[in-house]
């Protein structure tokens, strides 16, 4: 269909305005957009409360006030989480971790979403939600332990209301919807009690949005009005595939097809991400159903430390996104408004340095797991087959010890 065809199958020989200039064409275009939505090249709305230059903006739906302690807390969170990411990357380069999934550049998306949660809200993460884990009180060393191969996730998901990392792309969205439906049956949704009502948030990336599991989760969430926030960190790269090859429309607009609202937020703006996620979570707690939040950001680092992004993307893009750095923009705002000074920032730098030292020493001192421990958490209850495998492995392992003695 050419850009001047008003609808598929229109008789172009009787088109009264082939140049697309007259009132008939305008009316036809408006009618077309009412049915099919805006053109793909239209600029999507982006909720933003803090510009890359550190200027405060206001929004008719998501504006709110932030006190000084909250703003400084956001800044501290992002600085320390970035230090975690930096230290973990260095540890992997020195052979202390087998792999690391970087979050560089996505700190605002994760801290904004994480701090919007209430204690009773439950998170279903991917393998990159280190900032959200930080907000839910998970020991950062437990994250490093996974990538060191010491365990498969040793924190208590119920104690932290933060699930174990999910490596299978998109699977956690189905888990989140099922958990949310369970909350409905437990009577902790829509009661009007802020200390009781709870919601679920499922994190995933732009690449995962193409997975069947994710789309099935959308269908079930819409059908059962599940109290779920689908939080998509659109860092614009599904490993090496750019977002332009993944979707013909902005990702948040996909929610319309499933029957629930979607919103795009500046994922490098911690204030806007917090405000939008907070509203979406409250909507879920009240029993109003799911919301799709697209945090539009950029993956400044590699997909993982095994990836080389210089093979598939331009350095100019990275340099352009450096100007939108989430930490720098908040620092500019804090300094401009007299909310921090050099002494406060120096104290935070010292805290980050000590945090880095703790991470390095803690990672290197982790004991190797007992080989047979790989059988411990396969099933909630051990099956006969698993027991036989465990016993066979024990005999195999003992044979080496006997040989040494």
**Per residue in 278-298, pLDDT tens?**
999 999 999 999 999 999 999
Average pLDDT over residues 191-209: 97
pLDDT at 26 over 60: no
pLDDT at 67 over 60: yes
Backbone angles phi, psi at 123, to 5 degrees: -110, 135
pTM equals 0.87
CB atoms within 10 A of CB 165: 19
Q: How far is CA 144 from CA 99, 121, 167, 244, in A?
A: 9, 24, 15, 33
pLDDT at 65 over 60: yes
Looking at residue 18, what is its pLDDT? 45
Looking at residue 4, what is its pLDDT? 37
Q: Which residues lie across from 262 on neighbouring strands?
A: 292
Residue 269: which pLDDT band, with cuts at 50, 70 and 90?
A: very high
Backbone angles phi, psi at 191, to 5 degrees: -85, -20
* Distance between first and last Cα of the chain: 79
From the number of C-beta atoms within 10 Å of its C-beta (0-12, 13-18, 19+), residue 297 rates as buried
Which amino acids are annotated catalytic?
299, 303, 312
Looking at residue 7, what is its pLDDT? 33
**Per residue in 287-330, pLDDT tens?**
999 999 999 999 999 999 999 999 999 889 899 999 999 999 99
Looking at residue 33, what is its pLDDT? 55
Average pLDDT over residues 333-350: 98
DSSP-derived pairing of the beta strands 200-205 and 122-124? parallel
Residue 397: which pLDDT band, with cuts at 50, 70 and 90?
A: confident
Looking at residue 377, what is its pLDDT? 86
pLDDT at 8 over 70: no
What percent of the chain has pLDDT above 70?
Answer: 88
Helical pair 212-224 and 171-186, crossing angle rounded to 10 deg: 20
Residue 217: which pLDDT band, with cuts at 50, 70 and 90?
A: very high
CB atoms within 10 A of CB 238: 20
Q: Residues 6 or more apart from 172 whose CB is under 8 A from it?
A: 124, 125, 126, 163, 166, 202, 203, 204
| Pick from 208, 183, 171: nearest CA to 281 | 183
| Pick from 162, 92, 93: nearest CA to 130 | 162
Using only the alpha carbons of the chain, give its radius of gyration.
Answer: 24
Helical pair 342-364 and 68-93, crossing angle rounded to 10 deg: 40
- C-alpha atoms less than 13 angstroms from C-alpha of 398 in its C-beta half-sphere: 6
Q: How far does CA 205 lie from the centroid of its chain?
A: 6
Contact between 222 and 214 under an 8 Å Cβ cutoff? The reply is no
Residue 32: which pLDDT band, with cuts at 50, 70 and 90?
A: low
pLDDT at 15 over 80: no
């Amino acid at each position: 269909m050419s850009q001047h065809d008003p609808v598929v199958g229109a008789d172009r020989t009787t088109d009264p305005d082939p140049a697309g200039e007259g009132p008939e064409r305008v009316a036809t275009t408006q009618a077309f957009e009412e049915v099919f939505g805006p053109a793909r090249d239209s600029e999507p709305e982006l909720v933003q409360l803090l510009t890359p230059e550190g200027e405060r903006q206001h929004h008719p739906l998501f504006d709110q006030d932030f006190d000084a302690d909250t703003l400084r807390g956001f800044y501290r969170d992002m600085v320390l989480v970035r230090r975690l990411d930096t230290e973990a990357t260095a540890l992997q380069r020195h052979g202390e971790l087998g792999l690391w999934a970087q979050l560089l550049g996505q700190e605002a998306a994760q801290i904004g979403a994480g701090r919007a949660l209430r204690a009773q809200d439950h998170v279903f993460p991917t393998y990159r939600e280190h900032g959200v884990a930080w907000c839910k009180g998970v020991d950062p060393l437990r994250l490093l332990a996974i990538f060191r191969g010491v365990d498969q996730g040793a924190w208590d998901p119920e104690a932290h209301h933060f699930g174990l990392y999910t490596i299978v792309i998109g699977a956690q969205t189905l888990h989140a919807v099922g958990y949310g439906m369970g909350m409905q049956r437990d009577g902790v949704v829509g009661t009007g009690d802020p200390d009781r009502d709870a919601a679920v948030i499922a994190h995933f990336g732009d690449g995962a949005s193409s997975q069947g599991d994710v789309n099935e989760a959308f269908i079930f969430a819409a059908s059962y009005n599940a109290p779920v926030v689908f939080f998509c960190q659109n860092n614009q790269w599904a490993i090496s595939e750019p977002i332009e090859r993944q979707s013909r429309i902005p990702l948040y607009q996909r929610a319309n097809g499933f029957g629930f609202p979607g919103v795009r937020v500046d994922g490098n703006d911690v204030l806007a991400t917090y405000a939008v996620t907070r509203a979406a979570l409250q909507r879920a707690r009240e029993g109003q159903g799911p919301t799709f939040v697209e945090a539009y950001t950029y993956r400044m680092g590699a997909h993982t430390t095994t990836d080389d992004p210089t093979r598939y993307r331009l350095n100019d893009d990275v340099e352009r996104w450096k100007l939108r750095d989430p930490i720098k923009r908040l620092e500019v705002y804090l300094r401009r408004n007299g909310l921090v000074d050099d002494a406060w920032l120096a104290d935070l730098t010292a805290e980050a340095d000590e945090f880095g030292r703790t991470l390095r020493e803690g990672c290197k001192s982790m004991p190797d797991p007992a080989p047979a421990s790989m059988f411990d958490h396969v099933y909630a209850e051990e099956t006969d087959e698993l027991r036989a495998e465990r016993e066979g492995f024990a005999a195999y392992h003992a044979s080496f010890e006997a040989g040494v003695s």
